Amino acid sequence: MENSFTSPRLLKPQHLTPIRSLTLRARLIVEGAMAGLHKSPYHGFSTEFLEFRPYLPGESARRIDWRKFAKSDRTVTRLFEDETNLYAHILLDKSASMRFSSIPGMNKYDYAKTLAASLAWVLIRQRDAVGLRIFDERETLMVPPRSTNRHLQTIIARLDQSRPSGTTRCGDALSRLAATLTKRGLCIVISDLFDDPGEIILGLRHLRFKKQDVIVLRVADPMEERFVATAPLKVHDLETGQSLSIDAVTAARYFSDGTARHMAAIERACRDLRIDFETVVTDEPFQRALVRVLDKRRKMF
Amino acid sequence: MSALSFFQPIYLWGLAALALPLAVHLLNRKRSRRLDFSTVRFFKDTALRAAKMRRLRRIALLCARILLIATIAALFSKPYDPRAVFSTLVDPGGSVYCWIDPTKSMEYREGKGAVLLKAKAVADSIDKKLSPSSRRFLYDDARHAFVDRSSFTFDGNVVTRWGPPDIETMLRAFNRQRRGSTRTATLVVISDFQENVSEGFEAFFRADSAGAPIIGVNVAPATPWNIGILSALVRGRHPTLAVTTLAAVGKDFAGAGVSVITGGMRTGHDAVTIKKGCHATLSIPGSDGAEPNTGLVMLDADDPFPCDNTRFFTAEASSSVRVLIVGDSANSFPIAAALRCGETSAWRPVIMRPPRTVSYEDIDSARVVILNEVGALSGPLLALCEGRSFSNKAVIVSPCIDTGATMATARLFHFSNIRDNITFASHGAPCVPLLPDTLTPLWKGFPRFRETGAVVRRYVRPLPGNTILSLDNHAPLAAHAADSAGRSWVFFAVPIGFSSTNNLCETGMYVPMMDRIVRYSLESVCGEMEQWVAGLPRRNPYLKSRTGALVYDANNHRIAQWEKQPSVVFIEPGLYKIQPMGATSRWVAVNPDSQEITLAYRAPGFVGRGKKCMVFMENDEFLHYLKTDKGFFYAYGLWGALALLLFAEIFLWERRTEKNAKRRREEQS
């Protein structure tokens, strides 16, 4: 059996690079993800019965209506109308550090906003209300949560228009969002998390205090995961503009150690706060990243 | 003159290999690539410091490699400082000037041969060490210049001569000739460095600095010993012919025979025993009827330095003695009277001068100076007392007790350390001098007689030197001492003229006592007033006369004619007759230079620039230097630098460990 995670049919970021339309990208990703998983994310969050549908091989046997099978000797699946009561917020970091890319054509921000669009697609298709907040050192865009298809187009259009710039103040953005939330819901934070870990944790704690389920998606470039360089480098900080001349070999060692410590602190805090923490690397296929997130959510509930 | 030269400059081409580490460094240099990165927060501090350290390490490694190659090239090319003393000696483009001490002291026999042979061996060693392209100059004593030679190998070319070394002339010739050449010049002085040679160098460097390096090689005997005659004089007539002073160095001598030869015949003989480091004065009685006008004293001793075993003398040299009496004329009158009434030909003239009016000329012309109760010292008297001039004189001092001028007395009694301890002792009962005390050398040969009329009421105590006259209470009445300037001092404890403190001049013993005292003091004067020294030029005494003089040797062969030449010289010691035109002839005794036969060795001491110019070394040490090339180039320093650089290379070199190699492979993949 072909593993969906290693399937060549999966859309790799470089395959989507020529596709300029974020809508098309999101649709391709979501449809692909759904087809590969054989389990519908459309169902499971609602309890109101909608209709019967013939059972398709590969679907979960839990939803087979055994009573109908006993009567008619046909395997049918019960479908429920997914009427949402979930308010989801997607927080997208658009600081200049998200502009970095070691892969031609696909930087972290492109990957992040594609992922955000895909998630929004999935959630709206589930009739959940989705809002969008894009921030750097301040909140630059806020789209309130709604669940209409038109709203999805609005979110995708806003995502499409945004460009990475400014410095990261991830902790502040989380705290500001938490301060405005009144209902319990879901917050999906998409960022590279290159900010002070203390502030980030403070923001996450604030969100949890507001009874929010939080998913932290750390978007990382492959080079950030494994720093590789052979020649001396003059490193230019995309956010601050600061330049440093460093030696490649020692720089790799110190960067790996530094990021590991940094992310370990955040991950530990997430674990304590019962927050989902996922690292997605920009060379990873979108579907795999999306399914990983959704699957994790499914298991939790 | 360049700061650095090389013995093998061809190896400097090896410096071209310096391009290798440079090329390696440049090829291995990785240009820094600009990387727009998410954040630099993780690169700060340690990474930055590591990058700097790595860059510094690479630069240090490059420097170490460059220096390593340069050091290896330098080791082969043998660099040296042309201004350094030893380096210049073997400079292929240099000139070596050699001066071998030509004085008679180099004839000192040590072991198988003379010291001169040792000096020649040193010169031979230098010659072998020199590059064929080096120029060699040897000092020609007769021409007063350095002569260009093909080698320093001698075949009896260098011989000794009489007379003192002329260091100043030699050094001036060296400076003149080296300044006329563009080559590096080195002067090698091979000498036994007697006192006069060292003094010559010191005096020259005090006034001038040669600038060029000078290497002094000492070939003096290690343990010199000698016995020799320092002076020979005729004193009086029959029976004493000659009074001879002998000195022994380094060894005791017992029973050395001394003979007096006059008119070709041995007219006197004696034997002498001298302890090491001591002097002995010998009076040799001649045979009856012999009246020595001229002659020589010979020492029969098998010592290593025979040049001082013969001393010539003439009777004319001590025939008449000029006496100067300084003091109050009234008080000093008895002294002059006592000398004038003695032997008619002995003390002529006797001049009296008050202390304030005495001049340098008065003192210079007198052989005997008597200072009687001098209260205040004028300039010439101070010069006499403090030894700044006026050598070879007999000085008789009587204190100024009546006026209590203790300071002047102290200065007059300048010998030894008693200057500040002079006291004026007086006794209630008068003292009586022991006149004559025939046991003392002063009264030797005098008829036994006791002068009881003399009374001394007050006297100075103590007296410097050896007591030659005493009082009955054993206090010294007169004492004798000699100083290094050849002066003989007799100190009286009482005034010897008219004085209220004693009545010596009123006694019958006064005249013989004064005569004996003056003679005794004269006997101890080293040298004669008009002494001719072999090899030492003197002003021609007949320069301004119209006639000139002929000079004959002892065999009556004419050897020179003195007319208008400014200076004249006797080459060899001996007896010579000077025959002025139209006047009576006279004999002169020409003897070796007393400094040359003293055999007192010492290294020259320098201050200031002279210290940098001259290096003084012992013979063996110098030969060792020649043999081992020590000091010629910076070999030890270079080897040390090479070792350090190799260590630095190993320390700085980045070893490709397995871990590094693996990491690189990963990076490349």
Q: What residues contact B409, with CB distance under 8 A and at least 6 apart?
A: B399, B400, B422, B460
What are A42-83's pLDDT values in tens digits? 444 445 666 788 888 877 788 788 888 898 888 888 876 554
Q: How many angstroms away from the CA of A270 is the closest CA of chain B?
A: 22
Closest residue in chain A to residue B35, using alpha carbons only: A235
d(CA B632, CA B624): 12
- Contact list, A98 vs chain B (CB under 8 Å): 38
Closest residue in chain A to residue B33, using alpha carbons only: A233
Q: What residues contact A167, with CB distance under 8 A and at least 6 apart?
A: A95, A96, A136, A137, A239, A240
DSSP 8-state class, residue B180: T
Chain A interface, Cβ < 8 Å to B: 97-100, 108, 192, 194, 221, 224, 228-240, 242-251, 254-255, 257-259, 262
The pLDDT of residue B195 is: 85
Contact B37 A100 (CB under 8 A): yes
Q: How many angstroms away from the CA of B630 is the closest CA of chain A?
A: 49
What are B632-668's pLDDT values in tens digits? 556 677 888 888 888 888 887 765 555 566 666 665 5
Is B201 inside any structural domain? yes
Is B18 inside any structural domain? yes
- Between B527 and A113, name the one with better pLDDT: A113
d(CA B660, CA A187): 45
The pLDDT of residue A1 is: 36
Please choose, from the candidates B518, B446, B469, the residue with its C-alpha nearest in 3D space to the C-alpha of residue B489.
Answer: B518
Whether B659 and chain A come into contact, CB under 8 Å, resolves to: no
φ/ψ of residue A97, rounded to 5: -65, -20
> Which of A221, A235, A237 is the best substitution to test chain B (most B C-beta atoms within 10 A)?
A235
- Contact list, A238 vs chain B (CB under 8 Å): 36-39
Q: What percent of chain B has pLDDT over 90?
A: 6
Closest residue in chain B to residue A194, using alpha carbons only: B39
DSSP 8-state class, residue B29: P
What are A190-230's pLDDT values in tens digits? 999 888 899 999 999 999 998 888 889 999 998 888 887 76
> Which of B42, B53, B659 is the best substitution to test chain A (most A C-beta atoms within 10 A)?
B42
Closest residue in chain A to residue B47, using alpha carbons only: A251
- Between A74 and B207, name the one with better pLDDT: A74
Residue-wise burial string across B106-120, b where 16 or more C-beta atoms lie within 10 A, e elsewhere:
bbbebeeebbbbbbb
- Contact list, A233 vs chain B (CB under 8 Å): 32-35
B213 in the same domain as B310: no
Residue found under tokens 């330095």: B305
Contact A221 B42 (CB under 8 A): no
Instruction: List the single range of A224-228, B41-45, B59-63 with lowest mean pLDDT.
Output: B41-45
Instruction: List the single range of A218-222, B140-144, B521-525, B566-570 with lowest mean pLDDT.
Output: B521-525
d(CA A119, CA B218): 105
Please choose, from the candidates B326, B331, B520, B534, the residue with its C-alpha nearest in 3D space to the C-alpha of residue B412.
Answer: B326
The stretch B193-207 carries a mean pLDDT of: 82
Q: How many angstroms away from the CA of A141 is the closest CA of chain B?
A: 22
The pLDDT of residue A85 is: 59
Q: How many angstroms away from the CA of A170 is the closest CA of chain B?
A: 15
- Contact list, B37 vs chain A (CB under 8 Å): 100, 235-238
The stretch B71-88 carries a mean pLDDT of: 74
- Between B137 and A226, name the one with better pLDDT: B137
Q: Which amino acid is at B131?
A: S
B581 in the same domain as B652: no
- Contact list, A231 vs chain B (CB under 8 Å): 30-33
d(CA B86, CA B103): 26
The stretch B162-180 carries a mean pLDDT of: 87
The stretch A22-50 carries a mean pLDDT of: 54
B654 in the same domain as B572: no
B437 in the same domain as B387: yes
Is B442 inside any structural domain? yes
What are B238-276's pLDDT values in tens digits? 445 666 667 777 788 887 888 888 877 888 888 888 888
d(CA A205, CA B351): 129
With beta carbons less than 8 A apart as the criterion, state whether B120 and B100 touch. yes
Is B425 inside any structural domain? yes
> Which residue of A192, A232, A251 is in closest CB contact with B30?
A232
With beta carbons less than 8 A apart as the criterion, state whether B205 and B614 touch. yes
> Which of A193, A254, A261 is the best substitution to test chain B (most B C-beta atoms within 10 A)?
A254
Instruction: List the single range of A155-164, B516-525, B593-602, B622-631 with lowest mean pLDDT.
Output: B622-631
B516 in the same domain as B440: yes
The pLDDT of residue B1 is: 44
Is B42 inside any structural domain? no
Q: How confident is the model at residue B56 (pLDDT cuts 50, 70, 90)?
A: confident
Is B38 inside any structural domain? no
Contact A255 B47 (CB under 8 A): yes
The pLDDT of residue B239 is: 46
Please choose, from the candidates A90, A27, A56, A50, the residue with its C-alpha nearest in 3D space to the C-alpha of residue A216.
Answer: A90
With beta carbons less than 8 A apart as the criterion, state whether A216 and A119 touch. no
d(CA A79, CA A66): 14
φ/ψ of residue B8, rounded to 5: -125, 75
Is the model's pLDDT at A34 over the cut of 60?
A: no
What are the residues facing B79 on neighbouring strands?
B6
Closest residue in chain B to residue A231, using alpha carbons only: B30
Give kind and range of the element (H or E) at residue B470.
strand B466-470
Last residue of a domain, one of B523, B545, B566: B523
Contact A245 B42 (CB under 8 A): no
The stretch B545-554 carries a mean pLDDT of: 82
B239 in the same domain as B208: no
- Contact list, B32 vs chain A (CB under 8 Å): 231-234, 245
Q: How confident is the model at residue B99 (pLDDT cuts 50, 70, 90)?
A: very high
> Which residue of A234, A238, A257 is in closest CB contact with B33?
A234
Q: Which amino acid is at B493?
A: A
B546 in the same domain as B642: no
The pLDDT of residue A90 is: 92
Is B491 inside any structural domain? yes
B657 in the same domain as B560: no
Q: How many angstroms away from the CA of A227 is the closest CA of chain B?
A: 9
For chain A, the structural domain boundaries read 13-39+84-300, 48-81
The stretch B263-290 carries a mean pLDDT of: 77
B89 in the same domain as B61: no
Contact B35 A262 (CB under 8 A): no
B519 in the same domain as B543: no
Tokens of A19: 């596709």
Closest residue in chain B to residue A96, using alpha carbons only: B38
Q: How many angstroms away from the CA of B647 is the closest CA of chain A?
A: 25
Give the ipTM: 0.72
What are B571-583's pLDDT values in tens digits? 899 999 888 887 7
Q: How confident is the model at residue B347 (pLDDT cuts 50, 70, 90)?
A: confident
CATH topology of domain A13-39+84-300: Rossmann fold (3.40.50)
Is B404 inside any structural domain? yes
Count of domains observed in chain B: 5
Contact B33 A242 (CB under 8 A): no
Contact A247 B663 (CB under 8 A): no
Closest residue in chain B to residue A242, using alpha carbons only: B40
Tokens of B306: 């025979």
pTM above 0.80, yes or no: no
What range does the domain containing B413 cover? 321-523
B350 in the same domain as B251: no
Residue found under tokens 């008895």: B334
The pLDDT of residue B483 is: 76
Whether B56 and chain A come into contact, CB under 8 Å, resolves to: no
Residue found under tokens 């080096």: B134
> Which residue of A235, A244, A250 is in closest CB contact with B54?
A250
Q: What CATH number has the domain bearing residue B272?
A: 2.60.40.10
Contact B34 A233 (CB under 8 A): yes
Q: What CATH number has the domain bearing residue B133?
A: 3.40.50
- Contact list, B30 vs chain A (CB under 8 Å): 230-232, 248
d(CA A194, CA A170): 8
> Which of A192, A193, A247, A259 is the best substitution to test chain B (most B C-beta atoms within 10 A)?
A247
Cβ–Cβ pairs < 8 A, chains A and B: 105
B478 in the same domain as B350: yes
> Which residue of A97, A234, A257 is in closest CB contact with B35?
A234
Contact B39 A97 (CB under 8 A): yes
d(CA A235, CA A154): 37
Q: How confident is the model at residue B38 (pLDDT cuts 50, 70, 90)?
A: confident
The stretch B303-332 carries a mean pLDDT of: 81
DSSP 8-state class, residue B551: E
Whether B571 and chain A come into contact, CB under 8 Å, resolves to: no
